[in-house]
Amino acid sequence: MMQETGQMRAGLFDRVVGGIVLVLFGIAMLAIGWDYPMGRVNQMGPGFVPLSIGVIICLLSVAIFWIDLRDETISSAPALDWRGLIFVSAAILVFAGLVEFAGLLPSMFLAVVVSKLADRTNRPLGILVYAGLATLAGWLLFLVVLELPIPAFWR
């Protein structure tokens, strides 16, 4: 019983620290966008997204923090999933490193393939189909609908 109470307190401490970090991140987002013009929803200024994200993060983190403090069954956090962390981080680096040279579609496709490797249960055919569909959706959204000035393929 004593060890179980210690684990609950350790889990609660981890969540409190995580909540504080999240609130600080939201406040940092608010600080970043504070001096930029906000604009309106139909004509957003450069401060609209950072301020909106900052408010949303702060509200969600306070709600999560409040729920965690009321929950008496909090146990310690599960072990970190290193495989997921490595492959998702690698996918971000692949996209960032290739988008300038290879274009949006190849870099998006490869980033999705690398990120799907984070889950051991994914199969090669499923990964390729998912990456193809995600790349198609990205092409439709970013190049067709939003008309962003990003080349689809290498220059």
Torsion of CA 126, 132, 138, 144, to 10 degrees: -150
Average pLDDT, the chain: 82
Q: Nearest 5°: phi and psi at 72?
A: -95, -5
Torsion of CA 33, 92, 121, 11, to 10 degrees: -50
Please give the Cα distance from 16 to 35 (Å, whole number): 30
pLDDT band at 25 (very low <50, low <70, confident <90, very high): confident
Whether 4 has a pLDDT exceeding 60, the answer reads no
pLDDT band at 1 (very low <50, low <70, confident <90, very high): very low
User: pTM surpassing 0.85?
Assistant: no
